[in-house]
Protein backbone atom coordinates (compact mmCIF):
# COMPACT_ATOMS: atom_id res chain seq x y z
CA UNK A 1 0.00 0.00 0.00
CA UNK A 2 1.33 3.43 -0.92
CA UNK A 3 -1.50 5.87 -0.12
CA UNK A 4 -2.86 6.90 3.24
CA UNK A 5 -4.97 9.97 4.17
CA UNK A 6 -3.44 10.57 7.64
CA UNK A 7 -0.18 12.22 8.69
CA UNK A 8 1.73 12.69 11.93
CA UNK A 9 -0.54 15.62 12.76
CA UNK A 10 -3.61 13.38 12.61
CA UNK A 11 -2.49 12.02 15.99
CA UNK A 12 -3.14 13.62 19.36
CA UNK A 13 -1.05 16.71 20.22
CA UNK A 14 1.24 15.00 22.75
CA UNK A 15 2.25 12.44 20.14
CA UNK A 16 3.06 14.82 17.29
CA UNK A 17 4.53 17.62 19.40
CA UNK A 18 6.47 15.74 22.10
CA UNK A 19 6.87 12.02 21.47
CA UNK A 20 7.29 11.35 17.74
CA UNK A 21 9.79 14.16 17.04
CA UNK A 22 12.19 12.26 19.29
CA UNK A 23 11.23 8.74 18.18
CA UNK A 24 11.29 9.10 14.38
CA UNK A 25 15.13 9.05 14.14
CA UNK A 26 15.15 5.74 16.05
CA UNK A 27 12.83 3.95 13.62
CA UNK A 28 15.63 3.36 11.11
CA UNK A 29 17.72 1.58 13.77
CA UNK A 30 15.15 -0.24 15.90
CA UNK A 31 11.93 -2.13 15.39
CA UNK A 32 8.59 -1.20 16.95
CA UNK A 33 6.68 -3.56 19.25
CA UNK A 34 3.09 -2.56 20.04
CA UNK A 35 1.05 -4.49 22.61
CA UNK A 36 -2.46 -3.72 23.77
CA UNK A 37 -6.15 -4.23 23.26
CA UNK A 38 -7.66 -3.62 19.81
CA UNK A 39 -9.37 -0.32 19.13
CA UNK A 40 -6.71 2.10 20.37
CA UNK A 41 -5.42 2.81 16.86
CA UNK A 42 -2.27 0.69 16.66
CA UNK A 43 -2.70 -0.01 12.93
CA UNK A 44 -3.10 3.62 11.71
CA UNK A 45 -0.37 4.63 14.15
CA UNK A 46 2.09 2.21 12.53
CA UNK A 47 1.04 3.24 9.01
CA UNK A 48 1.49 6.95 9.81
CA UNK A 49 5.01 6.31 11.09
CA UNK A 50 5.80 4.04 8.12
CA UNK A 51 4.74 6.65 5.59
CA UNK A 52 6.68 9.41 7.37
CA UNK A 53 9.91 7.39 7.43
CA UNK A 54 9.30 6.14 3.88
CA UNK A 55 8.91 9.68 2.55
CA UNK A 56 12.26 10.57 4.07
CA UNK A 57 13.90 7.59 2.34
CA UNK A 58 12.40 8.75 -0.95
CA UNK A 59 13.76 12.26 -0.46
CA UNK A 60 17.19 10.88 0.29
CA UNK A 61 17.17 8.63 -2.79
CA UNK A 62 16.09 11.53 -4.99
CA UNK A 63 14.12 9.24 -7.31
CA UNK A 64 10.68 10.32 -8.48
CA UNK A 65 9.70 6.74 -9.30
CA UNK A 66 9.82 5.57 -5.70
CA UNK A 67 6.77 5.82 -3.47
CA UNK A 68 6.66 5.33 0.29
CA UNK A 69 4.45 2.58 1.60
CA UNK A 70 4.08 -0.45 3.82
CA UNK A 71 3.49 -4.18 3.53
CA UNK A 72 1.12 -5.62 6.11
CA UNK A 73 0.62 -9.32 6.83
CA UNK A 74 -0.09 -11.85 9.57
CA UNK A 75 2.81 -14.10 8.66
CA UNK A 76 6.45 -13.63 7.68
CA UNK A 77 5.85 -15.86 4.63
CA UNK A 78 3.80 -13.08 3.04
CA UNK A 79 6.88 -10.86 2.88
CA UNK A 80 9.05 -13.26 0.87
CA UNK A 81 7.12 -12.86 -2.40
CA UNK A 82 8.59 -9.45 -3.19
CA UNK A 83 12.08 -8.03 -3.07
CA UNK A 84 12.45 -5.65 -0.10
CA UNK A 85 12.63 -1.88 -0.60
CA UNK A 86 13.91 0.46 2.06
CA UNK A 87 11.00 2.92 1.75
CA UNK A 88 8.42 0.16 2.34
CA UNK A 89 7.89 -0.78 5.98
CA UNK A 90 7.13 -4.34 7.04
CA UNK A 91 4.20 -4.65 9.43
CA UNK A 92 3.32 -7.93 11.20
CA UNK A 93 -0.21 -7.26 12.40
CA UNK A 94 -1.32 -9.63 15.19
CA UNK A 95 0.34 -12.80 13.89
CA UNK A 96 0.11 -16.19 15.56
CA UNK A 97 2.58 -15.82 18.40
CA UNK A 98 3.55 -19.51 18.38
CA UNK A 99 4.78 -19.19 14.77
CA UNK A 100 7.11 -16.28 15.50
CA UNK A 101 10.21 -17.20 17.46
CA UNK A 102 11.57 -14.51 19.72
CA UNK A 103 14.93 -16.25 19.50
CA UNK A 104 15.08 -15.11 15.86
CA UNK A 105 15.65 -11.43 16.46
CA UNK A 106 16.39 -10.45 12.85
CA UNK A 107 12.93 -9.01 12.25
CA UNK A 108 13.55 -6.28 14.83
CA UNK A 109 17.22 -5.74 13.92
CA UNK A 110 16.82 -2.76 11.60
CA UNK A 111 20.42 -1.50 11.52
CA UNK A 112 21.68 -4.26 9.22
CA UNK A 113 20.58 -6.43 6.30
CA UNK A 114 19.27 -9.82 7.29
CA UNK A 115 16.87 -12.67 6.78
CA UNK A 116 14.12 -14.12 8.92
CA UNK A 117 13.32 -17.80 8.86
CA UNK A 118 9.91 -18.45 7.31
CA UNK A 119 8.00 -21.65 6.74
CA UNK A 120 9.21 -22.18 3.18
CA UNK A 121 11.97 -19.67 2.40
CA UNK A 122 13.73 -17.02 4.40
CA UNK A 123 12.37 -13.49 4.20
CA UNK A 124 14.91 -10.86 3.22
CA UNK A 125 15.02 -7.41 4.80
CA UNK A 126 17.08 -4.29 4.25
CA UNK A 127 19.04 -2.10 6.62
CA UNK A 128 17.12 0.98 7.88
CA UNK A 129 13.83 -0.49 6.68
CA UNK A 130 11.17 0.19 9.30
CA UNK A 131 9.60 -2.90 10.89
CA UNK A 132 6.70 -3.15 13.29
CA UNK A 133 5.04 -5.96 15.24
CA UNK A 134 1.56 -5.44 16.73
CA UNK A 135 -0.20 -7.85 19.07
CA UNK A 136 -3.19 -7.87 21.40
CA UNK A 137 -1.35 -10.00 23.99
CA UNK A 138 -0.92 -7.74 27.01
CA UNK A 139 -1.49 -8.70 30.61
CA UNK A 140 -3.93 -6.70 32.69
CA UNK A 141 -2.48 -4.07 35.01
CA UNK A 142 -2.28 -5.42 38.55
CA UNK A 143 -0.59 -2.41 40.10
CA UNK A 144 -1.64 1.07 41.13
CA UNK A 145 0.00 4.36 40.12
CA UNK A 146 -0.68 7.90 41.25
CA UNK A 147 -1.81 10.50 38.69
CA UNK A 148 1.57 12.26 38.83
CA UNK A 149 3.79 9.19 38.47
CA UNK A 150 5.78 9.20 35.22
CA UNK A 151 7.55 5.80 35.46
CA UNK A 152 6.74 2.27 36.56
CA UNK A 153 8.96 -0.22 38.31
CA UNK A 154 10.86 -3.08 36.72
CA UNK A 155 8.58 -5.62 38.40
CA UNK A 156 5.40 -3.97 37.08
CA UNK A 157 6.85 -3.67 33.59
CA UNK A 158 7.69 -7.35 33.25
CA UNK A 159 4.33 -8.30 34.74
CA UNK A 160 2.73 -6.62 31.71
CA UNK A 161 4.91 -8.59 29.30
CA UNK A 162 4.14 -11.94 30.93
CA UNK A 163 1.49 -13.01 28.40
CA UNK A 164 3.43 -11.98 25.30
CA UNK A 165 6.74 -13.57 26.30
CA UNK A 166 5.23 -16.62 27.96
CA UNK A 167 7.67 -19.54 27.66
CA UNK A 168 10.57 -17.45 26.27
CA UNK A 169 13.99 -17.36 27.86
CA UNK A 170 14.98 -14.21 29.68
CA UNK A 171 18.03 -13.64 27.49
CA UNK A 172 15.84 -13.78 24.38
CA UNK A 173 13.40 -11.32 25.94
CA UNK A 174 16.18 -8.88 26.78
CA UNK A 175 17.60 -9.29 23.26
CA UNK A 176 14.24 -8.27 21.81
CA UNK A 177 13.94 -5.28 24.15
CA UNK A 178 17.43 -4.19 23.12
CA UNK A 179 16.32 -4.01 19.47
CA UNK A 180 12.86 -2.47 19.74
CA UNK A 181 10.78 0.45 20.93
CA UNK A 182 8.00 -1.04 23.06
CA UNK A 183 4.54 0.55 23.27
CA UNK A 184 2.15 -1.02 25.79
CA UNK A 185 -1.42 0.29 25.80
CA UNK A 186 -2.83 -0.52 29.21
CA UNK A 187 -6.21 0.30 30.72
CA UNK A 188 -4.79 3.25 32.69
CA UNK A 189 -1.81 4.57 30.72
CA UNK A 190 0.58 4.10 27.82
CA UNK A 191 3.88 2.55 28.87
CA UNK A 192 6.91 3.22 26.69
CA UNK A 193 10.31 1.54 26.79
CA UNK A 194 13.12 2.77 24.55
CA UNK A 195 15.69 0.22 23.33
CA UNK A 196 17.72 -1.15 26.22
CA UNK A 197 19.13 -4.50 27.30
CA UNK A 198 18.94 -3.59 31.00
CA UNK A 199 16.15 -4.92 33.17
CA UNK A 200 16.07 -1.70 35.18
CA UNK A 201 15.71 0.62 32.16
CA UNK A 202 13.32 3.54 32.58
CA UNK A 203 9.74 2.79 31.50
CA UNK A 204 7.75 5.96 30.82
CA UNK A 205 4.16 6.17 31.99
CA UNK A 206 2.03 8.44 29.77
CA UNK A 207 -1.59 9.06 30.75
CA UNK A 208 -2.27 12.56 29.36
CA UNK A 209 -4.85 13.13 26.64
CA UNK A 210 -5.96 9.48 27.11
CA UNK A 211 -3.49 8.35 24.43
CA UNK A 212 -3.68 4.82 25.84
CA UNK A 213 -7.34 4.68 24.83
CA UNK A 214 -7.21 6.40 21.44
CA UNK A 215 -4.19 7.63 19.48
CA UNK A 216 -6.03 9.53 16.76
CA UNK A 217 -7.12 13.13 17.03
CA UNK A 218 -10.76 13.87 16.23
CA UNK A 219 -9.85 16.18 13.33
CA UNK A 220 -8.97 13.48 10.78
CA UNK A 221 -10.93 10.52 12.12
CA UNK A 222 -13.64 10.82 9.43
CA UNK A 223 -11.03 10.41 6.68
CA UNK A 224 -9.73 7.22 8.28
CA UNK A 225 -13.28 5.90 8.42
CA UNK A 226 -13.68 6.59 4.70
CA UNK A 227 -10.34 4.92 4.01
CA UNK A 228 -11.48 1.71 5.69
CA UNK A 229 -14.62 1.87 3.55
CA UNK A 230 -12.51 2.07 0.38
CA UNK A 231 -12.65 5.85 -0.17
CA UNK A 232 -9.30 7.63 -0.27
CA UNK A 233 -9.90 11.24 0.76
CA UNK A 234 -7.50 13.50 2.63
CA UNK A 235 -8.25 16.62 4.64
CA UNK A 236 -7.72 20.23 3.55
CA UNK A 237 -4.53 20.47 5.65
CA UNK A 238 -2.90 17.37 4.18
CA UNK A 239 -0.25 19.12 2.03
CA UNK A 240 0.63 21.60 4.78
CA UNK A 241 0.91 18.78 7.30
CA UNK A 242 3.30 16.93 4.99
CA UNK A 243 5.63 19.93 4.94
CA UNK A 244 5.45 20.26 8.71
CA UNK A 245 6.13 16.53 9.06
CA UNK A 246 9.20 16.76 6.83
CA UNK A 247 10.63 19.59 8.92
CA UNK A 248 9.87 17.65 12.12
CA UNK A 249 11.79 14.59 10.92
CA UNK A 250 14.79 16.58 9.73
CA UNK A 251 15.13 18.29 13.10
CA UNK A 252 15.11 14.92 14.84
CA UNK A 253 17.69 13.31 12.55
CA UNK A 254 19.89 16.41 12.83
CA UNK A 255 19.79 16.18 16.61
CA UNK A 256 20.74 12.50 16.56
CA UNK A 257 23.67 13.24 14.22
CA UNK A 258 25.03 15.76 16.73
CA UNK A 259 25.57 13.02 19.33
CA UNK A 260 28.34 10.46 19.20
CA UNK A 261 26.20 7.32 18.96
CA UNK A 262 22.64 6.04 19.09
CA UNK A 263 22.88 5.07 22.77
CA UNK A 264 23.61 8.68 23.67
CA UNK A 265 20.57 9.74 21.68
CA UNK A 266 18.39 7.18 23.50
CA UNK A 267 19.60 8.57 26.83
CA UNK A 268 18.86 12.09 25.60
CA UNK A 269 15.31 11.13 24.58
CA UNK A 270 14.68 9.45 27.95
CA UNK A 271 15.70 12.65 29.76
CA UNK A 272 13.62 14.84 27.44
CA UNK A 273 10.49 12.73 27.85
CA UNK A 274 10.78 12.59 31.62
CA UNK A 275 11.25 16.36 31.72
CA UNK A 276 8.09 16.90 29.66
CA UNK A 277 6.06 14.38 31.66
CA UNK A 278 7.16 15.77 35.02
CA UNK A 279 6.36 19.32 33.93
CA UNK A 280 2.90 18.47 32.63
CA UNK A 281 2.02 16.12 35.49
CA UNK A 282 2.97 18.85 37.99
CA UNK A 283 -0.23 20.64 36.95
CA UNK A 284 -2.49 17.69 37.78
CA UNK A 285 -4.54 17.84 40.99
CA UNK A 286 -4.36 14.49 42.86
CA UNK A 287 -7.55 13.03 44.36
CA UNK A 288 -8.42 14.40 47.78
CA UNK A 289 -7.85 12.03 50.71
CA UNK A 290 -10.28 13.87 53.00
CA UNK A 291 -13.07 11.56 54.23
CA UNK A 292 -15.57 14.41 53.92
CA UNK A 293 -14.92 14.84 50.21
CA UNK A 294 -17.44 13.18 47.96
CA UNK A 295 -16.00 11.01 45.21
CA UNK A 296 -18.46 12.53 42.79
CA UNK A 297 -17.05 16.00 43.41
CA UNK A 298 -13.35 15.17 43.24
CA UNK A 299 -11.50 16.74 40.29
CA UNK A 300 -8.64 14.26 40.18
CA UNK A 301 -6.45 14.77 37.16
CA UNK A 302 -7.77 18.22 36.31
CA UNK A 303 -4.99 20.67 35.34
CA UNK A 304 -4.38 23.48 37.81
CA UNK A 305 -4.80 26.90 36.15
CA UNK A 306 -2.03 29.47 36.56
CA UNK A 307 -2.06 31.69 39.63
CA UNK A 308 -4.31 34.72 39.24
CA UNK A 309 -6.68 33.18 36.68
CA UNK A 310 -9.28 31.83 39.10
CA UNK A 311 -12.20 34.08 40.17
CA UNK A 312 -11.97 35.49 43.69
CA UNK A 313 -15.57 34.68 44.55
CA UNK A 314 -16.60 38.32 44.97
CA UNK A 315 -17.08 39.04 41.29
CA UNK A 316 -19.93 37.14 39.73
CA UNK A 317 -19.48 38.43 36.20
CA UNK A 318 -17.14 40.48 34.07
CA UNK A 319 -17.00 44.23 34.76
CA UNK A 320 -18.88 46.33 32.20
CA UNK A 321 -18.05 50.03 31.98
CA UNK A 322 -21.24 52.12 32.60
CA UNK A 323 -22.82 53.91 29.70
CA UNK A 324 -22.95 57.70 29.30
CA UNK A 325 -26.38 58.19 30.95
CA UNK A 326 -25.40 56.16 34.01
CA UNK A 327 -22.15 58.08 34.43
CA UNK A 328 -24.12 61.40 34.24
CA UNK A 329 -26.15 60.44 37.33
CA UNK A 330 -22.97 60.27 39.43
CA UNK A 331 -21.20 63.28 37.88
CA UNK A 332 -20.08 66.18 40.15
CA UNK A 333 -22.54 69.11 40.69
CA UNK A 334 -22.29 72.24 38.52
CA UNK A 335 -20.12 75.16 39.67
CA UNK A 336 -23.10 77.49 40.57
CA UNK A 337 -24.20 75.13 43.37
CA UNK A 338 -20.78 74.91 45.01
CA UNK A 339 -21.32 78.08 47.19
CA UNK A 340 -24.69 76.82 48.45
CA UNK A 341 -23.20 73.44 49.29
CA UNK A 342 -20.35 75.14 51.18
CA UNK A 343 -22.83 77.17 53.32
CA UNK A 344 -24.78 74.03 54.17
CA UNK A 345 -21.60 72.30 55.20
CA UNK A 346 -20.56 75.26 57.46
CA UNK A 347 -24.00 75.33 59.13
CA UNK A 348 -23.81 71.62 59.79
CA UNK A 349 -20.37 72.06 61.37
CA UNK A 350 -21.66 74.83 63.73
CA UNK A 351 -24.60 72.69 64.71
CA UNK A 352 -22.27 69.85 65.60
CA UNK A 353 -20.07 72.18 67.68
CA UNK A 354 -23.10 73.51 69.65
CA UNK A 355 -24.20 69.96 70.31
CA UNK A 356 -20.77 69.08 71.62
CA UNK A 357 -20.79 72.17 74.01
CA UNK A 358 -24.21 71.20 75.43
CA UNK A 359 -23.00 67.68 75.99
CA UNK A 360 -19.90 68.94 77.84
CA UNK A 361 -22.01 71.19 80.13
CA UNK A 362 -24.30 68.34 81.05
CA UNK A 363 -21.29 66.19 81.86
CA UNK A 364 -19.89 68.87 84.24
CA UNK A 365 -23.22 69.21 86.04
CA UNK A 366 -23.32 65.48 86.59
CA UNK A 367 -19.79 65.45 87.99
CA UNK A 368 -20.64 68.39 90.34
CA UNK A 369 -23.72 66.57 91.63
CA UNK A 370 -21.61 63.61 92.63
CA UNK A 371 -19.58 65.81 95.12
CA UNK A 372 -22.66 67.02 97.18
CA UNK A 373 -22.69 65.65 100.79
CA UNK A 374 -25.98 64.95 102.57
CA UNK A 375 -26.01 67.00 105.89
CA UNK A 376 -29.48 65.91 106.98
CA UNK A 377 -30.86 69.54 106.85
CA UNK A 378 -33.89 70.77 104.96
CA UNK A 379 -33.62 72.98 101.90
CA UNK A 380 -34.33 76.25 103.97
CA UNK A 381 -31.77 75.30 106.58
CA UNK A 382 -29.20 74.65 103.88
CA UNK A 383 -29.84 78.09 102.40
CA UNK A 384 -29.56 79.79 105.85
CA UNK A 385 -26.30 77.97 106.54
CA UNK A 386 -24.93 79.21 103.21
CA UNK A 387 -25.74 82.86 104.22
CA UNK A 388 -24.07 82.38 107.66
CA UNK A 389 -27.25 82.93 109.66
CA UNK A 390 -26.94 79.56 111.45
CA UNK A 391 -24.04 77.28 112.28
Q: What confidence tens digit (pLDDT) does each residue in 126-149 have?
A: 889 899 999 988 888 888 888 889
- Of 7 and 64, which is predicted with more confidence? 7
Contact criterion met (CB below 8 Å) for 91 and 85:
no
Contact criterion met (CB below 8 Å) for 4 and 51:
yes
Q: What confidence tens digit (pLDDT) does each residue in 332-364 have?
A: 555 455 566 566 666 666 666 666 666 667 666
Whether 205 shows a pLDDT value over 50: the answer reads yes
Q: What's the pTM value of the predicted model, to 2 decimals?
A: 0.70
Residues 6+ apart with CB under 8 A from 102: 165, 168, 172, 173, 175, 176
Phi-psi group of 285: left, alpha or beta (phi > 0 → left; psi -120 to 50 → alpha; rest → beta): beta
Tell me what pLDDT residue 366 has. 55
Q: Which of 114, 107, 155, 165 is nearest to 135 (CA)?
A: 165
Q: Is 1 exposed, middle or buried (0-12, 13-18, 19+ CB in 10 A)?
A: middle
d(C-alpha 106, C-alpha 87), whole Å:
18
Backbone angles phi, psi at 77, to 5 degrees: -65, -30
SS3 content of the chain, % helix, strand, coil (to 5): 45, 15, 45
- Between helices 238-258 and 262-281, what is the axis angle to 10°? 120
Q: How confident is the model at residue 210 (pLDDT cuts 50, 70, 90)?
A: very high
Tell me what pLDDT residue 291 has. 44
Tell me what pLDDT residue 82 has. 80
Q: How confident is the model at residue 100 (pLDDT cuts 50, 70, 90)?
A: confident
Whether 25 shows a pLDDT value over 80: the answer reads yes
Amino acid sequence: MTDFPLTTFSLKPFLHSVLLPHLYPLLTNFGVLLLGCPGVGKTPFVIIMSMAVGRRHVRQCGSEGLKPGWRRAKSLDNFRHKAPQVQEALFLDDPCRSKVSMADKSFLTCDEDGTVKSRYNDTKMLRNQMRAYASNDLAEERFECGPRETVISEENFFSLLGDFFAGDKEKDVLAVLKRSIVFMFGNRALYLLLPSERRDAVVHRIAMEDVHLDLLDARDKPFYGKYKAGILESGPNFDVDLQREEALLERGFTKMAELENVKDYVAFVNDELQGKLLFQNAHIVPPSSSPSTSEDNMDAGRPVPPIGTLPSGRRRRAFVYPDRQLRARFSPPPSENLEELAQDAEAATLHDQEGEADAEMMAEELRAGEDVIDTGLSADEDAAADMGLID
